[in-house]
Structure 1
């Protein structure tokens, strides 16, 4: 299912956080949102998973306006892994993962055998099955990140929205997570701070600055030395990855060179 942000704007307390943002994510595509801190990336995502209502513009899933869908229907369509999506109570890992099935259940309905198998399979994929009976509050930051992603995946969404999913993850799990997103077949909109990971994992990138979309295209089209200097304020050389050909940035720590 396609995802489309049409002329999306968010104004809060007189401040314009997102300005006339139009961006599409085709079915099965991974699109990354990148930009400096405070550029509006997380705010745009909040509109997609309905934590925030846009001041103007629309979020469309297929041909439907997301805000017009019943909450249960939108929760079955869009799953989110957010920066502030932690768990305050010490549920076990398997209990937290099972919460992803909530949009598909009625009241206190128990998980079916297929749903229990789905939860186990997703925990295996994310290398957290051995943590199933651990309290989630006892986990490291990286382990908890993988638990929250598992919760989103067992929701069986058509669209997956992730806000900085590689935070706290070691290199191996960063690569595994992004590789899994590439092969998931889901429509994915993801905020990433690491531009090299974004170039490797995403089909297309949207660059935000001061709430506006300033560039959109393939990583090779977007990640130029000029754009990195103008938007991020750093000097970088762009080289091709020797194995994949993806653009990779080599940063200069000396601002005069």
Structure 2
């Protein structure tokens, strides 16, 4: 069951530096909201507040109306699943063992997986196309294979909220599309950071644009991904066209720099 996620005026300051400034954003139950912005704009910082790797300096994160900071960590572990940029493992567990770790918040001690847990793991591995790797050690996998294993682990957790930081990293184009299609039809509440704005436009119900730690725009991809905003935030000139099949905005970039365009002939 998915639940609404709310970040209410969340501010994060570390060593006197403000990384995130009064971020207010709501992700409705079953909605996919993407965070986009330049490097260092605060996207990953916002996600860390949701999966409690960081405590906001000010402001509140709520799940289903409950203040996340007031919930037991065991409840958070069942409610929020996260795929982080540092989400790998240095131990050579098998793929099946890594995926099964998603059930850890529901088990006590060394309790073995029951039939339902084993079925969940098998189904998740099938969905992510890694079932044939079940007996392989994760350290022997490619970056893309390992990424799909970690997404399977997150799904096995049966979270109410799924938080993903660059989930398409290391994936080839086929697996990028398959993963994002899976998220789109999952019914989960999803907050995701994506660098590829075309994939973000095709996947997300709404986008939040961050710049220098502040939310500068929010809305549907069509409302947000305008040439003026992209130039102001990312410093690039783009042409926005409608996808011929879906109507989603698609960005066409020029490799010619602003300096070259303005250079006298």
Same fold (TM over 0.5): yes
Match of 2:173 among 166, 171, 174: 171
Offset, 1:255: 2.2
Does 1:224 find its partner at 2:238?
no
Match of 1:140 among 136, 139, 142: 142
In 1, Cα distance between equivalents of 2:65 and 2:18:
27
Q: TM-score, normalised by structure 1?
A: 0.99
Offset, 1:198: 0.1
The answer for the alignment partner of 2:160 in structure 1 is: 158
The residue matched to 1:145 in structure 2 has which SS? helix
Match of 1:94 among 79, 96, 102: 96
Name structure 1 gaps, 5 residues minimum: none
The residue matched to 1:33 in structure 2 has which SS? strand
Offset, 1:34: 0.2
The answer for the alignment partner of 1:233 in structure 2 is: 235
In 2, Cα distance between equivalents of 1:226 and 1:243:
25
In 1, Cα distance between equivalents of 2:39 and 2:257:
20
Match of 1:198 among 183, 191, 200: 200
In 1, Cα distance between equivalents of 2:255 and 2:236:
8
The answer for the alignment partner of 2:70 in structure 1 is: 68
In 2, Cα distance between equivalents of 1:235 and 1:253:
9
The answer for the alignment partner of 1:116 in structure 2 is: 118
The answer for the alignment partner of 2:8 in structure 1 is: 6
In 2, Cα distance between equivalents of 1:118 and 1:64:
28
In 2, Cα distance between equivalents of 1:112 and 1:156:
15
Offset, 1:70: 0.4
Match of 1:187 among 171, 186, 189: 189
Does 1:48 find its partner at 2:83?
no
In 2, Cα distance between equivalents of 1:91 and 1:45:
26
Residues 186-208 of structure 1 show CA distances to partners (whole Å, capped at 9, x for unaligned) of 00000000000000000000000
The residue matched to 1:37 in structure 2 has which SS? coil
In 1, Cα distance between equivalents of 2:139 and 2:67:
37
Q: TM-score, normalised by structure 2?
A: 0.96
The RMSD of aligned alpha carbons is 0.6
The residue matched to 2:139 in structure 1 has which SS? helix
Offset, 1:63: 1.0
The residue matched to 2:7 in structure 1 has which SS? strand
Residues 71-101 of structure 1 show CA distances to partners (whole Å, capped at 9, x for unaligned) of 1101111100000011010000000000000
The residue matched to 2:34 in structure 1 has which SS? strand
In 2, Cα distance between equivalents of 1:233 and 1:253:
12
Offset, 1:181: 0.4
In 1, Cα distance between equivalents of 2:218 and 2:80:
23
In 1, Cα distance between equivalents of 2:71 and 2:87:
22
Name structure 2 gaps, 5 residues minimum: none
